[in-house]
Structure 1
Amino acid sequence: MKVPTKPWTLLYKIYRYVLPDAQSYLEEWKEKAIKIPNDELRAQALASIQDKAFHCEGGAVYGLLAKEHRSKIIRFIVAYQTISDYLDNLCDRSTSLDENDFRALHQSMFHALSPGAELENYYRFRDDQDDGGYLASLVMACQEVLIELPGYTHAKHLMRQLAEYYCDLQVFKHVECHKRVELLEEWFKKHKENLPPMSWYEFSACAGSTLGIFCFAAYAANGELSKKQADEIMNGYFPWVQGLHILLDYFIDQEEDLEANDLNFIFYYDSKEQMVERIRHIREEAEESIRGLPDWKFHRLINKGLIAIYLADEKVQAHKEIKKTAKQFIRFGGLPTVFFYLNSWMYRRA
């Protein structure tokens, strides 16, 4: 199966292969979530699948890079993203503000990337405990896929590095409100010298994506990866592609986060004009960074599709000012983004 490089062939393969696989795996996890004994854990697990299924469906597109191993990689992507979305719900809507609790929960994301790792009680710092083995099953599903990938050896340390960024972010952004920015700024200072010029909140956005992990898994399925190839994937996706992904995610969540008093990195730009200019710059850097990757035309389509998928969200359509700004972003992506945008708009409403 060839990796698609045109908008119409990409969409055909998404509808023909990717979405059926992703939705089938999501349905399996939903059936397991329904059986969770604890009321709160069951509610959050079901809500994460119901409200954030498009995260899994979107991430599953990377299965196309794995060619004949597509279904196996989509199984990993859906399981790993489901862990991410479930834990995000547990932290976002939790009565806990305990850093130890958040770190214990997110240890599952490291174990998911570590075949053979012994599982723990990830709920040990919270009252709600009995999930009927739900989180452990998600972790083991990821392990079962990764242990079979011939290229995992050279990919695993970089996948774990991306997971470390992700988990640190999730911990720092969910503690007590008055501590969050200070912790994130101190964290940024530790990494700043290894990063291109950016703000602490842009680095935080770059850390908050799982796309690089999915990309690694897909390429690891196709054969052994050299250290050089693994470094190229890392540099292709971190920081810029991941930053574009998460800033768009925060862009569409502005009203929701304002109401819930949740941290949103879009709020830290000095003005709307600065925000638009920086996202334009990040998109350009993302376009440039993927040119060293194999199948770079596929990755370019992903960048353009990211803009479309997020901006077609009903949260954008319902807010006049956000929708107006979204039109500027759509123009950044050119005709392919318009094509994906119209398709996403129709798909969501269907």
Structure 2
Amino acid sequence: MAIPNEPLFLMNQVYRKVFPIVHRELAYWKEKAVHIDNEELRKQALDSLHDKTFHCEGGGIMGLLALHGKRDAIEFIVAYQTISDYLDNLCDRSTSLDPEDFACLHRAMEDALTVGAVPGNYYECREDQEPSYLTSLVMRCQDVLSRIPNYPLIKDELLHLSRLYCDLQIHKHVQENEREHRLQQWFNDHRKDFPGMEWYEFSACTGSTLGIFCLVSYSLRPDFKKEHAKMIQEGYFPYIQGLHILLDYFIDQEEDRAEGDLNFCFYYPDHNALFNRLQHFVKQADIHTGKLPHSRFHKLINRGLLGVYLSDEKVHSQVEVKKLAWKMIRSSGPVSFFFYLNGRAYRNVSKMFSGNTIAKKTI
């Protein structure tokens, strides 16, 4: 079984061997979410599964790195990403602005990566309660990790990336007048390790789960070695993860303005500055992935991020964003354009199934 190293082969594997598993797992967690008794928590769980399916689809692609361990990798990826998306909804769209509440909720993400950790009451700082959905997701992640002989070799790197992610979520969801100060103070603790980076760029770099998914997928391979863990962490963090999240914020600018949400793209002085920094992240990501095993696959992921995000329908409703997106696609070469066209086609086919996504056709 070969790791895809060219676009057509990659997409063939994604549609035939990744998405069906992803959608099966999502259907399982949707069935669990439907039975949450608490109305508010049920709404947020179902909304996160419905609105953020593409997060699990994109993350699931990393499972191809696991070769014959692909099914276990995708099972973990879907469960962990579902925790992330659910908690994001609870922090972003729900009933609290309390950093202690956010810290309690996000203990689930660290517990999910710690085999043997006993789940606590992650809702202890809020009125809304449910006994099993979030705990079941945590235990699913632990179950997969417990079956990986190489788990001890990646545990430190997993927890390092997870703790950065959780710190970000706590700081960026508090009262609006506190967010920037908290994030800037947090960055000051890390500034020396990231020269030339602004606080909002560092924050973006911490907000992706791709490095975690890559570590778990590689650890399922029989040829995994201890030194790979550090290589993968440094290959994905900061630049690929940063590009991932900056693109996510890039397409959400109109929505975030309307909702009053923090958006890291708002801090660039103008569109040219944003374009130049995104190009910098692309180039740096290529340099860092060049040091990884199967570097061609990781460069495809890099270009795929550009194509998939910039083909999103949100781009076409924002005039300035659309102009900049086209400029980025044109400057990023034919592989990015291939993924852009693929993303447009996939979304168009999805529309053909009223009330459903194409995901449901493949379960």
Q: CA contact under 8 A between 1:154 and 1:225: conserved in structure 2? A: no
Q: Deviations over 1:38-97 (max 9, x none)?
A: 000000000000000000000000010000110110000000000000000000012211
Q: Deviations over 1:245-272 (max 9, x none)?
A: 0000000000000000000000000111
TM-score normalised per structure 1: 0.98
The Cα shift of 1:224 comes to 6.7
1:340 aligns with 2:339: yes
The equivalent residue for 2:5 is 5
Mark the runs of 5 or more structure 1 residues left unpaired by the alignment: none
Read off the aligned partner of 1:45 and give its amino acid letter.
A
The equivalent residue for 2:44 is 44
CA RMSD of aligned residues (A): 0.9
The Cα shift of 1:225 comes to 4.3
Q: Distance in 1 between matches of 2:312 and 2:187?
A: 30
Alignment of 1:47-196 (within 5 A): 47-130=47-130, 132-196=131-195
Q: Distance in 2 between matches of 1:220 and 1:50?
A: 30
The equivalent residue for 1:315 is 314
Q: Which is further off, 95-104 or 225-234?
A: 225-234
The equivalent residue for 1:267 is 266
Q: Distance in 2 between matches of 1:104 and 1:244?
A: 28
Q: CA contact under 8 A between 1:150 and 1:223: conserved in structure 2? A: no
Q: CA contact under 8 A between 1:152 and 1:225: conserved in structure 2? A: no
Read off the aligned partner of 1:273 and give its amino acid letter.
N
The equivalent residue for 1:26 is 26
Q: Distance in 1 between matches of 2:118 and 2:65?
A: 30
SS in structure 2 opposite 1:345?
Answer: helix
Alignment of 1:272-283 (within 5 A): 272-283=271-282
Read off the aligned partner of 1:349 and give its amino acid letter.
N
Mark the runs of 5 or more structure 2 residues left unpaired by the alignment: 350-363
Q: Deviations over 1:265-322 (max 9, x none)?
A: 0000011111110010011000110011011000000000000111111101222221
Read off the aligned partner of 1:124 and give its amino acid letter.
E
The equivalent residue for 2:231 is 232
Alignment of 1:320-335 (within 5 A): 320-335=319-334
The Cα shift of 1:228 comes to 2.1
Q: Deviations over 1:113-137 (max 9, x none)?
A: 001001000000001012x400000
Q: CA contact under 8 A between 1:150 and 1:222: conserved in structure 2? A: no
Q: Distance in 2 between matches of 1:159 and 1:257?
A: 30
The Cα shift of 1:149 comes to 1.2
Q: CA contact under 8 A between 1:150 and 1:224: conserved in structure 2? A: no
Identity of matched residues, %: 52
Deviation beyond 4 Å, 4+ runs, structure 1? none
**Count of equivalent residues:** 349
TM-score normalised per structure 2: 0.95
SS in structure 2 opposite 1:37?
Answer: coil
Q: Distance in 2 between matches of 1:154 and 1:234?
A: 12
Q: Distance in 2 between matches of 1:141 and 1:347?
A: 30
The equivalent residue for 2:219 is 220
Q: Distance in 2 between matches of 1:220 and 1:90?
A: 31
SS in structure 1 opposite 2:290?
Answer: helix
Q: Distance in 2 between matches of 1:147 and 1:263?
A: 37
The Cα shift of 1:193 comes to 1.0
